[in-house]
């Protein structure tokens, strides 16, 4: 497979979905000129195609390896990552005050999309680092920011987030990791964490772990949790990595996919000598961690786009080359058969829709950072939609890639399964998609009694022209009204179908917007034709499917409990 960066598509979505021109017109983002955006997209495309994409198959087959001295990455990965650092790609969306370029988050999103499409596993490393930057930028002390952020911004040091423990799972409040004051403002950290992505590796000179732990006498549950900064190597007086900090990699997980992304079990303080620094006040750990998690959730949604784009390219390449069957009297490539065309069109339409949804949400980050409170509220509602729906799409498109390959898709040598295997966890981590749906109806909807979602519905209705899209938007409004007055169980039982309905409506709205924008002067004719055909497919075939979810979204919860637990 030859990797082709989706540069033209990205630029179109930045212009017509993210409205990057409006952001560039502000003083804060004045540096985001047309020439600079083009240079960024072209440059990262070349680096991804030349250095990251050739590694992805090796990463899948060789994978990261545990050793007693730490995790080693597959051959070529350190060089590729170090060239990413040297190119300054990690600094794109980081504030200038912290060593970054201060460009919009949505441009950083495009950079990460290209890298992750080339190698989904390796791109997870900078995603986590950006989350650590976000947490320290908002909650770290001035001294912590000065010591750590410039190195995290370049990617010379990487970051992790340490929430989950084996006995707690998604119930973070049940954690047991402890932090005991040492009397000098630092803490002794003791405990273990599981499922820590890039918890150890040999790509960078230091790893900065952000660890949730409980101090002595802290209340039970999430109110008693604090956040600590625990470097793999303590800093020497000159600020460089020095003595090891008693953080041990107990093991790495053997996973369905993402084999080049080491998922670690980390043990802190086995020798009683793991030192951490408190981030923010005691007991405010969840607030600080949610800053990191909300950033991560958008970037996990982006992983759905990455996997879908790569899978679509892989399937289309195979379908053009694989000759099987006849059209008339001639043997033809399978791309000429209607059912294969159906799958490829669906893959392309869903990928473009997911990209539009994630970029639209990412642009709300930038507008919120400019002080737009309505954008901040809209971002809150969009985050679970982008995370869940885009990763659902990534899984669907990865599955279709296997189907397009037929029997060869089930054979590992073709590499067709990797996209599905790699992206499958994205629907699980950073809060399962069911948790995202519960967040949508249990927190985001009720926070302002539906005003933010109603505002979004009103905006969609004001532009929508396609009849099926208008009907879906109206259905979303009807379900919204019902959920506002529903009991908790009924609201939660409706949450997933409602999330899919609303996300599909937003995607349809943004795809229809792109259809109109493709008619504007200057649009490349071939790009216009493909864009409009894809948008029409989405509106005519995918939007109507979401209407069928309305009955499930309106149904009471009692049907889900009709079968006793012991009878399942």
> Cα separation of 68 and 195, whole Å?
18
Helix (H) or strand (E) holding 333: strand 330-333
pTM score, two decimals?
0.96
For 312-342, the pLDDT digits (tens) are: 999 999 999 999 999 888 999 999 999 999 9
Active site (annotated) includes residue 471: no
> According to the model, what pLDDT value does residue 3 have?
93
Residue 415 has pLDDT above 90, yes or no: yes
Band of the pLDDT at 168, cuts 50, 70, 90? low
| 175 neighbors 112 (Cβ within 8 angstroms) | no
- Most distant CA pair in the chain: distance in Å? 85
Cα dihedral angle (472, 478, 481, 482), rounded to 10 degrees? -110
Cα 239 to its chain centre, rounded Å, is 32
Beta-carbon contacts of 342 under 8 Å, excluding residues fewer than 6 positions away, are none
For 339-365, the pLDDT digits (tens) are: 999 999 999 999 999 999 999 999 999
| 301 neighbors 357 (Cβ within 8 angstroms) | yes
> According to the model, what pLDDT value does residue 295 have?
79
Helix (H) or strand (E) holding 227: strand 225-231
| 461 neighbors 473 (Cβ within 8 angstroms) | yes
Angle of helix 495-517 relative to helix 451-463, nearest 10 degrees, comes to 40
Q: What ranges do the domains of the chain cover? A: 436-559
Q: Annotated catalytic residue: which of 51, 430, 477, 512?
A: 430
For 487-544, the pLDDT digits (tens) are: 999 999 999 999 999 999 999 999 999 999 999 999 999 999 999 999 999 999 999 9
225: left (phi over 0), alpha (psi -120 to 50) or beta: beta
Band of the pLDDT at 164, cuts 50, 70, 90? confident
| 347 neighbors 538 (Cβ within 8 angstroms) | no
Residue 39 has pLDDT above 90, yes or no: yes
For 234-278, the pLDDT digits (tens) are: 999 999 999 999 999 999 999 999 999 999 999 999 999 999 999
Residue 293 has pLDDT above 70, yes or no: yes
> Cα separation of 204 and 206, whole Å?
6
Among 79, 65, 48, smallest CA distance to 259 is for: 65
């Amino acid at each position: 497979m030859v990797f082709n960066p989706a540069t033209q598509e990205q630029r179109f979505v930045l212009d017509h979905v993210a409205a990057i021109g409006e952001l560039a017109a502000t003083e804060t983002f004045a540096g985001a000129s047309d020439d600079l955006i083009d240079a960024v997209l072209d440059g990262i495309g070349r680096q991804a195609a030349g250095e990251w994409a050739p590694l992805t198959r090796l990463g899948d087959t060789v994978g990261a390896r545990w050793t007693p001295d730490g995790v080693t990455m597959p051959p070529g990965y350190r060089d590729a990552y170090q060239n990413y650092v040297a190119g300054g790609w990690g600094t794109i969306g980081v504030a200038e005050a912290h060593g970054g370029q201060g460009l919009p988050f949505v441009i950083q999103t495009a950079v990460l999309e290209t890298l992750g499409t080339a190698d989904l596993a390796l791109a997870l490393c900078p995603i986590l680092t950006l989350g650590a930057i976000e947490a320290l930028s908002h909650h770290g002390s001035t001294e912590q920011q000065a010591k750590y952020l410039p190195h995290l911004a370049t990617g010379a040091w990487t970051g992790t987030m340490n929430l989950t423990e084996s006995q707690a799972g998604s119930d973070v409040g049940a954690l047991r990791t402890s932090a005991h004051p040492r009397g000098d403002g630092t803490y002794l950290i003791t405990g273990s964490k599981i499922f820590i992505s890039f918890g150890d590796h040999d790509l960078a000179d230091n790893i900065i772990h952000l660890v949730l732990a409980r101090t002595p006498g802290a209340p039970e549950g999430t109110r008693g949790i604090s956040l600590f900064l625990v470097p793999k190597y303590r800093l020497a007086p000159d600020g460089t990595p020095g003595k090891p900090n008693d953080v041990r990699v107990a093991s790495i997980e053997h996973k369905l996919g993402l084999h080049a992304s080491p998922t670690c079990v980390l043990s802190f303080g086995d020798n009683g000598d793991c030192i951490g620094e408190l981030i923010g006040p005691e007991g405010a750990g969840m607030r600080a961690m949610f800053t990191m998690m909300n950033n991560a959730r958008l970037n996990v949604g982006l992983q759905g786009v990455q996997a879908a784009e790569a899978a679509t390219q892989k399937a289309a390449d195979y379908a053009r080359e694989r000759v099987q069957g006849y059209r008339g009297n001639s043997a033809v490539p399978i791309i000429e058969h209607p059912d294969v065309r159906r799958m490829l069109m669906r893959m392309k339409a869903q990928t473009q829709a997911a990209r539009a949804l994630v970029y639209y949400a990412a642009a709300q980050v930038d507008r919120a950072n400019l002080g737009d409170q309505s954008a901040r509220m809209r971002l809150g509602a969009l985050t679970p939609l982008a995370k869940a729906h885009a990763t659902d799409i990534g899984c669907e498109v990865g599955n279709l890639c296997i189907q397009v390959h037929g029997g060869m898709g089930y054979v590992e040598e073709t590499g067709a399964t990797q996209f599905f295997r790699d992206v499958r966890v994205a629907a699980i981590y950073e809060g399962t998609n069911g948790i995202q749906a519960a967040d949508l109806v249990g927190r985001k909807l009720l926070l302002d009694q539906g005003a933010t979602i109603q505002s979004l519905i009103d905006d969609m209705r004001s532009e929508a022209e396609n009849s099926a899209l208008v009907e879906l938007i109206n259905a979303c409004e009807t379900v919204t009204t019902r959920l506002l007055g529903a009991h908790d169980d009924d609201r939660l039982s409706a949450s997933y179908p409602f999330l899919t309905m609303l996300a599909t409506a937003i995607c349809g709205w943004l795809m229809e917007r792109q259809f109109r924008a493709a008619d504007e002067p200057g649009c490349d004719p071939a790009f216009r034709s493909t864009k409009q055909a894809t948008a029409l497919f989405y509106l005519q075939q995918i939007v109507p499917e979401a209407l069928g979810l309305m009955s499930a979204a309106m149904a009471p919860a009692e049907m889900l409990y009709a079968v006793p637990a012991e009878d399942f």
